[in-house]
Amino acid sequence: MNWVTKMFSSSIGQKFIMALTGLFLCSFLVIHMVGNLQLFKADDGLAFNTYAVFMTTFPVIKFVSYVLYASIIFHAIKGLMLVSKNNKARPVKYAVQNGAANSHWTSRSMGILGTLVLVFIVIHMKNFWFEYKFGHEVGYTSYFTNIATGETGSRAMEAEYKQHNKIEETMVSSPDGQQYKIVVVKDLYKEVATEFKEWWLVALYVLCMFAVAFHLYHGFQSAFQTLGINHSKYNGLIKFIGIWVFSVLIPAGFAAMPIFFFFK
């Protein structure tokens, strides 16, 4: 048995890979959050749509996306297996269950919290990722930017308009000699803005961000413990990032997006 097979089959090895995939998913969330901040720009979605094309067509990022999908699947399956193994190992509940004395409730609820996050990811990917890549609902918008003034306007294309690429850029001159950059791009921004006009979807997203917050409250710090990164010098920083970045800032930032579009 070589070390790779050993790693995948031993329970320590599996926890190790869960920690690594978990931290990789955390780093994805940071990038996803920063990228999605473009949704707040008052440019009718030009920056966000251009960013979405880059993220879905640049070869290195496309490759990282496949690693991401594999990580989500592995992390979810192994996590559920671990929960079921732990439950089987202790089939009879203690007569007096005083979990709070030994552990935080988030650590005892990682299975249910993780399942909620997984359900969210499935719904979320169906709404945006699937529609953008394979669906028929995402149309095209044409943006025209005056090169001299930087002013940008936009116009939605006909519903049945289709083009080979997600983005096409051209330069044109108007009769009065003004130069314009024309960008025709697949309008994912409009899809996001339209979806978040549904109050129940906004409510679902906001609720699911609590599950993300509580899952990461325990998960981020626990991953470092599993990897053996446990030193009084760094523990404070890891705890700070786990709580303030991953269980407050990131979920709150994501929750702000549907709320912003609902009231826009």
Distances (CA, A) of 15 to 22, 79, 81, 187: 10, 9, 11, 40
Q: From start to end of the chain, where are the E strands?
A: 140-146, 152-156, 167-173, 179-186
Cβ atoms of 210 and 102 within 8 Å: the answer is no
- Give the integer Cα–Cα distance in Å for 255 and 228: 33
Interface positions with ligand HEM (CB under 6 A): 32, 36, 52, 55-56, 65, 68, 117, 121, 124-125, 128-129, 132, 188, 192, 205, 212, 254, 257-258
Nearest to 198 by CA among 123, 97, 140: 123
Least gap, CB of 189 to ligand HEM (angstroms)? 8
User: At 162, phi and psi to the nearest 5?
Assistant: -135, 145
Least gap, CB of 117 to ligand HEM (angstroms)? 6
Least gap, CB of 81 to ligand HEM (angstroms)? 20
Least gap, CB of 227 to ligand HEM (angstroms)? 21
Q: Which is nearer to ligand HEM, 53 or 157 (CB)?
A: 53
Least gap, CB of 92 to ligand HEM (angstroms)? 35
Nearest to 254 by CA among 199, 210, 189, 194: 210
Least gap, CB of 184 to ligand HEM (angstroms)? 18
Q: Which is nearer to ligand HEM, 224 or 254 (CB)?
A: 254
Q: Which is nearer to ligand HEM, 113 or 188 (CB)?
A: 188
Q: Which is nearer to ligand HEM, 65 or 115 (CB)?
A: 65
Q: Which is nearer to ligand HEM, 110 or 117 (CB)?
A: 117
Q: Which is nearer to ligand HEM, 180 or 258 (CB)?
A: 258
Cβ atoms of 42 and 260 within 8 Å: the answer is no
User: At 140, phi and psi to the nearest 5?
Assistant: -115, 150
